[in-house]
Chain A
């Protein structure tokens, strides 16, 4: 098939970007979306132009590197899949496709379709973990965990940290990302001692990174490649309420910069 692409090109964080039109010719139905971009990039290189920068690594929907807004939708038209899992059989000859980076104040553009998602790492660094020093731990079967809790924790833990939730949210909120982390760890007995501080510190860091607040649009859930449920946001809000009653966290971890 032949396609017309309108791709966001931006040389660096500080210069203005814009859409550039490209033609993608002779694309096979079986190619993935990113392979289609590879083919376009090969042609650009052969023509002496700079290829389109986009992020990717595993190409199987698990590393969270890739992420494009395709015709206005983060990760494109396919439900529950990352950009790298999208195949060209979803398109037909002559289609026009608009391709943009994640748009959010907290995710500045690095180049073309690549953004800086370091804010998500910094949120985890202020307490999105269980402090279990290497070696200082009991036998794995010493604590029994109800299967349904383990399963629910796993649902939350399947987050790949791609940032699509932020890109989809009209407020560019990172609430689903934070809620998934808080829920994953808060559902497990091991996560209880730090539960209160964790939610307070993570939410504070999220706010200071410039993410917007959650006003229940649920766009995040719709674009999440792992279909993480917004029920976890309700869970976060409950935790946050309980934790706030006790005021300041026992231990503040400074933003890791």
Chain B
């Protein structure tokens, strides 16, 4: 298999214009002869489905929630980046591009990132026109803030609910098209497989989550916008339903999977309160601007925080990184917290967190300033933990948050299966080995509003408006496979609940392929995962029937796919003998303990081809070259 990235030639600033001009167009009168399936109604899916509907295509959009508006994008808090330079602080498309390539630790494709920075400005215009109530200044202009360590203020936000407001905007656009009859919406409908006819993506097989009916939908092209796979770890900041099924099923049908081990762990989440908990709540990173992170110097310390004198506290980030202190990047802050907890110096009842302390900030600035800055976050923290962070320090711990890896796509966002496009967090394209804050929302909307609607027309124009046929034998065959799998899940009738097994998988993934990875741990993980998978198929218990609303069955199907994905993640992590971004291999670090990239050997995208469950996947490489952002090692000392 040849991986052709289809990046246009020429200077980077002109590539996208050039490509847009080369793309074949579909005659306006012919657009309604094409059907496009969009799976997912998050920022990526909703914006794509709405824009395609406006263009005149017939669109079918699917999501597993009861309403398109509930997609996981809704939970994003912080904000969305754009290179508007409204603050006149020296921002530009070039700077946003540069920061994103560097932030991704040189493992993303330059041309894609440049395009992302280019269209970022259109996104803000679009959202404002839809009525997204972004924060404003007294003069009526849009307000910005600096986010995630950026040196310019390029982040647009709507209180702490930016994702919600952007998604509601996209949902409105989608609702408009549903009202106009161009988009047909299928909520509570889960895609369980992809259907190929003559090697092209031609439709999907879905299960109606209310009646359990399995059926087929045919189209000229299929777009997956199904989000990330952090829930492979069982506990994460993602919504409970986030899953890998759509992209994993497509992977099994031939779409190669890129950089599966590139995952992001967020440093400031509220630690788990007990075994039963899987959903972890993220606390905004902005808290690190004023909070100081510490653990006791001694192991097994049991005194309350206030009784531990300063001399017996270890402000480890300030000690190790005097210039960045508590504001070191996400991956470093996360790793150091894990070290402290592993060293037996964790805090809280379960000793599974580190302190984020506002005592000094309150003394310096006064309680009212802190309240004004973080009041709602403190309230949220208290609601969840029952502790008052004005009086006792917060406890935080890292948790899986975002997956940079995903299905491989070319510059047109097309996977290795012709006619299968992948957008948003589900693809691998723009963030390399590490995503910067406020850039995921930007990418989802860039893909959906401003990239895919153009690039898909080229594909559609080439295949032509041939008739789609859901009665084609290929659909029947896949439907039967899906039906049999559902039956098989119900038939095991063992003793273990789905969550019990998921928790086991999560623990293995966290130990082997979490914040710090090593050959030994990964090899152990690779032995453990197939065992858990076998145990699942031998001992899982899925109560209820297939022809019914059945949440246990939904969870079981998703876990079955995570059990295959987890193995691929570990293989990828094992193969990548370097540390880059969120992928930290203990064997590859600088003497100071920082990530050590190996550009000689690993400046490429790892794209894995499926060869069967439990059989070694085949590696393909897309070489990466950096012509515009010179390769350099990052340093936060």
**A29→B387 CA distance, assembly (Å):** 12
Residues of B within 8 A of A30 (CB): 273-274, 385-386
Closest to A146 in B: B140
**A30→B159 CA distance, assembly (Å):** 28
Q: Mark A73-87, 1 if CB is under 8 A from B, else 0.
A: 000001001000101
**A51→B543 CA distance, assembly (Å):** 8
Residues of A within 8 A of B495 (CB): 46
Closest to B64 in A: A57
**B279 contacts A by Cβ under 8 Å:** yes
**B383 contacts A by Cβ under 8 Å:** yes
> Are B179 and A65 touching (Cβ within 8 A)?
no
**A145 contacts B by Cβ under 8 Å:** yes
A49, A117, A153: which contacts B67 (Cβ < 8 A)? Answer: A117
Least CB distance, A87 to chain B, in whole angstroms? 7
Least CB distance, A92 to chain B, in whole angstroms? 14
Stretch touching chain A among B93-101, B161-169, B296-304: B161-169
Q: Mark A159-199, 1 if CB is under 8 A from B, else 0.
A: 01100000000000000000000001100101100000000
**A133→B68 CA distance, assembly (Å):** 19
Q: Mark A135-154, 1 if CB is under 8 A from B, else 0.
A: 10111110111110011011
> Are B133 and A157 touching (Cβ within 8 A)?
yes
Least CB distance, A188 to chain B, in whole angstroms? 5
**A56 contacts B by Cβ under 8 Å:** yes
> Are A158 and B161 touching (Cβ within 8 A)?
yes
Q: Assuming the A-B contacts A60-B75, A65-B70, are A144 and B140 also in contact, with contact meaning beta carbons closer than 8 angstroms in the complex? A: yes
Closest to B163 in A: A62
**B318 contacts A by Cβ under 8 Å:** no
Closest to B160 in A: A62
B67, B179, B240: which contacts A126 (Cβ < 8 A)? Answer: B179
Q: Assuming the A-B contacts A63-B65, A154-B159, are A130 and B129 also in contact, with contact meaning beta carbons closer than 8 angstroms in the complex? A: yes
> Are A64 and B173 touching (Cβ within 8 A)?
no
**A190→B210 CA distance, assembly (Å):** 38
**B11 contacts A by Cβ under 8 Å:** no
Most buried by B among A85, A124, A133, A153: A124
**A31 contacts B by Cβ under 8 Å:** yes
Residues of A within 8 A of B548 (CB): 12, 111
**A185→B175 CA distance, assembly (Å):** 15
Residues of A within 8 A of B171 (CB): 124
In chain A, positions 230-255 with a C-beta closer than 8 Å to chain B are 253-254
**A75→B213 CA distance, assembly (Å):** 32
Q: Assuming the A-B contacts A256-B178, A256-B179, are A141 and B142 also in contact, with contact meaning beta carbons closer than 8 angstroms in the complex? A: yes
Count of inter-chain pairs, beta carbons less than 8 A: 222
Closest to B172 in A: A129
**A184→B384 CA distance, assembly (Å):** 30
**B406 contacts A by Cβ under 8 Å:** no
**A12→B545 CA distance, assembly (Å):** 13
> Are A135 and B126 touching (Cβ within 8 A)?
yes
**A205→B51 CA distance, assembly (Å):** 25
In chain A, positions 92-142 with a C-beta closer than 8 Å to chain B are 110-111, 114, 116-118, 120-121, 124-135, 137-141
Query: How many residues does chain A have at the interface if contact means C-beta atoms less than 8 Å apart?
Result: 79
Q: Assuming the A-B contacts A81-B383, A129-B175, are A49 and B543 also in contact, with contact meaning beta carbons closer than 8 angstroms in the complex? A: yes
In chain B, positions 538-594 with a C-beta closer than 8 Å to chain A are 541, 543-544, 548-549, 551-552
> Are B136 and A253 touching (Cβ within 8 A)?
no
**A217 contacts B by Cβ under 8 Å:** no
Closest to A27 in B: B276
**B125 contacts A by Cβ under 8 Å:** yes
> Are A85 and B131 touching (Cβ within 8 A)?
no
**A35→B240 CA distance, assembly (Å):** 12
Q: Assuming the A-B contacts A35-B276, A64-B70, are A141 and B86 also in contact, with contact meaning beta carbons closer than 8 angstroms in the complex? A: yes
Closest to B77 in A: A62
Least CB distance, A59 to chain B, in whole angstroms? 4
Residues of A within 8 A of B500 (CB): 42
Q: Assuming the A-B contacts A111-B549, A147-B138, are A118 and B66 also in contact, with contact meaning beta carbons closer than 8 angstroms in the complex? A: yes
**B423 contacts A by Cβ under 8 Å:** no
**A53→B551 CA distance, assembly (Å):** 7
Least CB distance, A254 to chain B, in whole angstroms? 8
**B421 contacts A by Cβ under 8 Å:** no
> Are B141 and A184 touching (Cβ within 8 A)?
no
> Are B136 and A59 touching (Cβ within 8 A)?
no
> Are B126 and A150 touching (Cβ within 8 A)?
no
**B504 contacts A by Cβ under 8 Å:** no
**A167→B482 CA distance, assembly (Å):** 37
**B465 contacts A by Cβ under 8 Å:** no
Task: List 10 A-B pairs, minimum CB-CB distance, nearest first.
Answer: A144-B140, A129-B172, A137-B129, A30-B273, A132-B129, A154-B133, A125-B179, A59-B279, A140-B128, A134-B51
Provide a sorted-by-A list of 6 A–B residue pairs whose CB atoms are within 8 angstroms.
Answer: A62-B74, A64-B70, A129-B175, A132-B126, A134-B449, A190-B128
Chain B residues with a Cβ under 8 A of chain A = 47, 50-51, 54, 65-72, 74-75, 84, 86, 122, 124-131, 133-142, 158-159, 161, 163-165, 168, 171-173, 175-176, 178-181, 185, 187, 210, 239-241, 273-274, 276-277, 279, 281, 383-386, 449-450, 453, 495, 497, 499-500, 541, 543-544, 548-549, 551-552
Q: Other CB < 8 Å A-B pairs besides A32-B384, A35-B274, A147-B140, 13 of them?
A: A63-B71, A65-B70, A87-B386, A89-B386, A121-B178, A125-B176, A128-B175, A134-B47, A134-B126, A137-B126, A140-B125, A140-B128, A191-B131
